[in-house]
Amino acid sequence: MMHPRDIRHHDRNDLAKGLAFLSPWLIGFAVFTAIPIGMAFYFSFCDYGLIDKGGPLWIGLDNYRDLARDKWFWNALSVTGRYALMALPAGMCVSLGLAILLNQPIRSQAVYRAIIFLPSLVPVAASAMIWFWLFNTKLGLINYVLGLIGIPPIGWLTNPAVALPALAFMSLWGVGHTVVIYLAGLQDVPKDLYEAAELDGATGWRRLWNVTLPMISPVIFFNLVIAIIGVFRIMDLPYIMTDGGPANATQFIALYVYKTSFQFVRMGYASAMAFVQLLIILALTGLAFWSSKRWVHYQGK
């Protein structure tokens, strides 16, 4: 029988070995995540121009007060919110619908799955160039097809009223990853539940509503949370395609933070903006978790 002192020594050795294995991740997390977050939080209370010789100057809550009066900040929040209202439900519904179709026993199923998934592997810059050509007012394929049925050319990326919906429509191009997650959830639904529903006389739509959706509700919830975070982080596509235009119609909050920090060199103000953005994401994610108690069903509960 081991002495308690030997047991404690053995546990300390195990702890040391575990920390040694985790040390690359812990060091990377500290250097590239925790420390930058802490510095950004400090800078949000400072007047800091990044290249200022004097370094950060503490100004308290002035950056946050300025945000309340910044019409471009509120415009960026409005743009991001309107984009989320369009792209988030559309992406959730389209990806779920495609997953249900791809889950059916049809010929060449693997080919269709590959076709749906491949666009999500295309690099962002390449996707932007493809859609930039498709949306081109004069030479774009979309306007060419619309012209065949008598619809005049539409300035997809030059008309402030159309640019944001065009980017929301473009977001459906990359739903492949979400489709794969839905497919995994659909294949976990027990077959006997469908058989029982069929014996009860449930039609296809009733089986979908009463069996499929409740059984994959945890997967839907997961994709919802990821989508909420994603829509508030979108920056690369509007930066490449419109640079926030026309008339700031696609100036997303993440893009405005980037421009404020690296173009206008106002790191302190941009840090404050980023933390407000973080608080909004946390609030919406918390709301999703709160509502999940009513509509998310876990097997065995």
In this predicted model, what pLDDT tens digit does every residue of 69-87 receive, in sequence order? 999 999 999 999 999 999 9
In this predicted model, what pLDDT tens digit does every residue of 214-224 receive, in sequence order? 999 999 999 99
- The total of other beta-carbon atoms located within 10 Å of residue 129's CB is 14
What pLDDT shows up at residue 139?
86
Name the pLDDT band for 195 (thresholds 50, 70, 90): confident
pLDDT at 7 over 60: no
In this predicted model, what pLDDT tens digit does every residue of 113-161 receive, in sequence order? 888 999 888 888 899 999 999 999 888 999 999 999 988 999 999 999 9
What's the average model confidence in pLDDT over 194-212?
A: 81
What's the average model confidence in pLDDT over 232-245?
A: 90
pLDDT at 6 over 90: no
What pLDDT shows up at residue 189?
86
What structural domains does the chain harbor?
70-295 (1.10.3720.10)
pLDDT at 110 over 90: no
